[in-house]
Amino acid sequence: METTSANRTLYQRPRQAARCAGSPAKSATLRAPAPAADGFLRHSFTPMYAPAPELPSRSATERDFFKSRSYLGNHYGLELTDFRSLPYPYNVLMAERELHCKLRVKDKYRHLTITAQENGEVCLTIAETFDEDFCLYYIPVMPIYQLWQNEAHVPCAELLTAVCAYLYAGAGISYYRDEDTYMYSNYEVMEDWINDDWNDGEEDEYALEKADLENAKLQGDFMQAKMMEPRFRQSLDCLITHFNAVSEFEKDCLAVAHTCLQLGKDFPDANLFQHASLQDYEVEDYQDNYVGMQEYISFIGSVNDHLSERLKSMVNDDFNERARYQEPETITCFNRVQSAYTDELAYEQRAFGLIDDLCTLLYRKP
């Protein structure tokens, strides 16, 4: 979905009309009759519109639209005004405007469209996504590796490794050490660039970035092996039971683990990409391509070393060339009766919250 700024036309605020100087004599006080004023304020004016050169057939359009609108209202539990007595096409316009207002909900964006189906019938469709700006969800694993190297922090490392194991094997988040992933290819490109810098004679920068790259490989392989161990993939509840949280960091680790455990219990068969949008979107050229969810949601090495700055620049330059991005989305077509609304994106919303909490925790590890 491409996000653009809305253009607004600004109009001058109405002002009181200029008057000629009046007679010094006191004018009589004039008042409009009360009923006239009340009637004006209570009157509902039909909005102006620019009619299309050709309007769809009235009888078929009204019938299909209001039938579909009834399905939509029952699905979401909305109380809708009956506009069918208004002249056509005002009744359709007013009914659509009311739907736009009543479909607004916190944290969700619902895009309403009126479409003509293959059989010629008119139908309402809702595409529901998150009402949030585009973000990168990159989970660094090297901070957890560092926790493993300190015996006092091994219990925290175990908990966080189990959380990452769920996000990797359960939620389906890609890992930067797996070939054929977006992040794996980025690290390969960076390695080529680092070697080119060495040939250019930039020895100091080369040494720092070369060391960061080797650490990202070795520590990433270590963490991936840990995440694949059965005790971390299947025993998060046992780790939580035997975990003794004393420090604030340990309490936060325990809270993240509890969130992960509950998420897996509430949605045992879900994954983060089950409602990915643009599945059938045809790409005509690179500029028309979209950023895939597996590209902006991934495990990476680190976010605070010399290599991470180069990685951030690479990703931003790449994504800025894309026209849109893939995101969780559900599409409901109201050409028939639909069951009562349930939040089909609830898992994704909670999973993104878990990733946020985990990353925040790793950014301030001891």
- Are 231 and 168 members of one domain? yes
- Are 191 and 165 members of one domain? yes
Structural domains of the chain, count: 2
> What is the DSSP annotation of 219-263?
HHHHHHHHHTSHHHHH-HHHHHHT----SHHHHHHHHHHHHHHHH
Which pLDDT band holds residue 207 (cuts at 50, 70, 90)?
Answer: confident
46 to each of 49, 63, 83, how far by Cα in Å? 9, 22, 12
Rounded distance, CA 44 to CA 5, Å? 32
pLDDT at residue 323, rounded to an integer: 84
Question: Which residues have a Cβ under 8 Å from the Cβ of 333 and sit 6 or more positions away?
Answer: 123, 124, 125
Q: Structure pTM? A: 0.82
- Are 115 and 183 members of one domain? no
Residue 38 is assigned to a structural domain of this protein: no
pLDDT at residue 199, rounded to an integer: 62
Q: Which tokens is 141 given?
A: 């694993």
> Beta strand pairing status for 297-300 and 290-291?
unpaired
Whether pLDDT at 23 is above 60: no
**Model confidence pLDDT, tens digit, residues 101-160:** 999 999 999 999 999 888 889 999 999 999 888 899 999 999 999 999 999 999 999 999
Question: Which residues have a Cβ under 8 Å from the Cβ of 7 and sit 6 or more positions away?
Answer: none
pLDDT at residue 157, rounded to an integer: 97
Domain termination residue (choose one: 98, 130, 162): 130
- Are 113 and 231 members of one domain? no
190 to each of 63, 178, 214, 251, 275, how far by Cα in Å? 60, 16, 12, 37, 32
- Are 67 and 161 members of one domain? no
- Are 100 and 220 members of one domain? no
pLDDT at residue 319, rounded to an integer: 94
pLDDT at residue 222, rounded to an integer: 98
Question: What are the beta bridge partners of residue 122?
Answer: 116
- Are 293 and 158 members of one domain? yes
3-state helix, strand, coil in the chain (%, to 5): 50, 10, 40
- Are 183 and 315 members of one domain? yes
Q: How many CB atoms lie within 10 A of CB 325?
A: 18
Residue 14 is assigned to a structural domain of this protein: no
- Are 64 and 191 members of one domain? no
> Beta strand pairing status for 122-130 and 330-333?
antiparallel
Domain assignment of residue 123, given as a range: 56-130
Higher pLDDT, 55 or 275: 275
